[in-house]
Amino acid sequence: MLRPRIIPCLLVHNGGLVKTVNFTNPKYVGDPINAVKIFNEKEVDELIVLDIDATAQNREPDYGRIRNLAAECRMPLCYGGGVKTVEQVERIISLGVEKVAVSSAAISDPDLVAQSAEVVGQQSVIVVMDVKKNGRGDMYELTTHNGARATGMFPVDFAKKIEHLGAGEVVINSIDNDGVMKGYDLDLVHKIRDAVNLPITVLGGAGSLNDIAQLISTFGIVGASAGSLFVFKGKYRAVLINYPSRVDKDALIEQSIEKRHE
């Protein structure tokens, strides 16, 4: 039976683990491999690792890093960053990664989604949509290159397109909510959820487990992803890798599902 997933998201910048706010000011928070080891011990549902340098610097994925992460990781791993070709997708999967995330390349070359799904399987092809509101704050727009380039494309339209092309999942990443820890953009999620039947993971804004509970009680089977929540602790944002215990996580999910059915 499918269940909601609670998913830490790690950002890699200059070889280190960082956390951003609104996709800017990356703060170093540790070594990615050490973080994976801790998340192994905490038995997380899944892990997303995004190299935020690769596309911006127009370079290939770091296959050595990917191999090391996959070898250490004992949970399903999704890796993204710099992926532009089917051959790269296939190579990353061959290194032991379960899912490959594409973002900018899916916009510039949508056929990449369909071709990758045919080669490695639909369930292994994830599309990340980096979304922010326009200057007036009244419309959502897709962006690329860490939010630096506007595309003029609407996320709902693009979500429909990638579903048709065979994407296995979409990650909705809110730039406006990134790192602010004040809750997910539920309005944005509603728009995407109403438009497609794809599995959805939501990233950007979680500041507490209550935010995750609200997301699950509102949308049901969904991936609740977070960065700051799982690497910071307390109001002073001290670096501490954390994740709810299995008992606490299961209780949160069950209570959220029950609330959804009330």
Residue 10 near residue 47, CB atoms below 8 Å: yes
Active site residue 130: yes
Residue 158 near residue 165, CB atoms below 8 Å: no
- Nearest by Cα to 53 from 143, 129, 145, 125: 145
Sorted by where each starts, the structural domains of the chain and their CATH numbers stand as 5-260 (3.20.20.70)
Please provide residue 31's backbone torsions phi and psi, each rounded to the nearest 5 degrees.
Answer: -95, 130
Residue 4 tokens, joined: 């909601």
Query: For the CA atoms of 109, 110, 111, 115, what is the dihedral angle to 10 degrees?
Result: 110
> Residue 1: what pLDDT?
58
> Residue 145: what pLDDT?
92
Question: Active site residue: 53, 130, 178, 185, which one?
Answer: 130
**Could you read off the pLDDT tens digit of each residue along the chain, which spans 262 residues?**
589 999 999 999 999 999 999 999 999 999 999 999 999 999 999 999 999 999 999 999 999 999 999 999 999 999 999 999 999 999 999 999 999 999 999 999 999 999 999 999 999 999 999 999 987 777 999 999 999 999 999 999 999 999 999 999 999 999 999 999 999 999 999 999 999 999 999 999 999 999 999 999 999 999 999 999 999 998 888 999 999 999 999 999 999 999 998 8
> Residue 178: what pLDDT?
97
Please provide residue 85's backbone torsions phi and psi, each rounded to the nearest 5 degrees.
Answer: -130, 160
Q: Give the Cα separation of 100 and 75 in Å (integer).
A: 14
